[in-house]
Structure 1
Amino acid sequence: MPYLYLSFAILFEVAATSLLKLSQGFSKMLFGILALVFYGLCFFFLSLSLKGIQLNLAYAIWAGIGLVGTTVLSIFLFREKVTATSLIGIALVISGLVLLNLSQKIH
């Protein structure tokens, strides 16, 4: 169940960040308010996930997958450009998450 909560936290974080962009600096209040609501839900589910997942692992997964998800969404939704350097960075983040997960299973 903790990983399901973490998945919800990631989904709400990616959605909230996208809504924050759509709010255009809170000049479009509906998007801004929705972003705040989604961030609240994100942190609620992140806190629930911490009951069963170590903080360092949960935060790394949340931040890493959130980064990748936000990047992918920004490419398709906002037509932002992706470079080879940014793809390498994303690959390094994913590699770091895999290594962190493996290190947790060794202990």
Structure 2
Amino acid sequence: MNPWMLLAACILAEVTATLLLNKSEGFAKPLYGFASLAIFGGCFIGLSIVLTRIPVGVTYAIWAGSGIALIALAGWLFLRQTLSPVQMLFITMIAVGAVGLKLSTHTA
């Protein structure tokens, strides 16, 4: 499997798991919390495969940066959390950095 596609799937799963963790309301709704933990576990299995083909620093920077940008967007879209123009600017900068890393990195 293409490691970049697997990394993208792991990032989307991580965002889903984070939204479920929020929905668990501090594990007051344990089904959401346990679903979140299961998805996070799958993310780390996928990430371990990605790390055999993409350098760890690049992988982690893209994982973290994309996750931050997407969860902020999801919070804004689905949870009605506000973002200031300055916050949107910096989230955009994170996304641009993640794309730049992808475009400048060759896989093993």
- TM-score, normalisation: structure 1: 0.89
The structure whose residues are more often helix, as a share, is 1
What is the identity, as a one-letter code, of the residue corresponding to 2:31?
Answer: L
In structure 2, distance between residues paired with 1:3 and 1:98: 11
In structure 2, distance between residues paired with 1:75 and 1:25: 20
In structure 2, distance between residues paired with 1:40 and 1:5: 14
For structure 2, list consecutive stretches of 5 or more residues without a partner in the other structure.
none
For structure 1, list consecutive stretches of 5 or more residues without a partner in the other structure.
none
In structure 2, distance between residues paired with 1:54 and 1:102: 14
What is the identity, as a one-letter code, of the residue corresponding to 1:43?
Answer: F
Q: Deviations over 1:37-86 (max 9, x none)?
A: 01001111111111111111111111111111111111111111111111
Tell me the CA shift for residue 35 of structure 1. Answer: 0.5
- Aligned match of 1:25: 26
Tell me the CA shift for residue 9 of structure 1. Answer: 1.0
Q: Write out the 4+ residue segments of structure 1 that deviate beyond 4 Å after TM superposition.
A: none
What is the identity, as a one-letter code, of the residue corresponding to 1:15?
Answer: T
Asked whether 1:44 is paired with 2:38, we answer: no
What is the identity, as a one-letter code, of the residue corresponding to 1:95?
Answer: V
What is the identity, as a one-letter code, of the residue corresponding to 2:73?
Answer: V
What is the identity, as a one-letter code, of the residue corresponding to 1:67?
Answer: I
8 Å CA contact 1:9–1:44 kept in 2: the answer is: no
8 Å CA contact 1:20–1:32 kept in 2: the answer is: yes
Q: Once the two structures are aligned, what percentage of the paired residues are identical?
A: 36
Tell me the CA shift for residue 103 of structure 1. Answer: 5.0
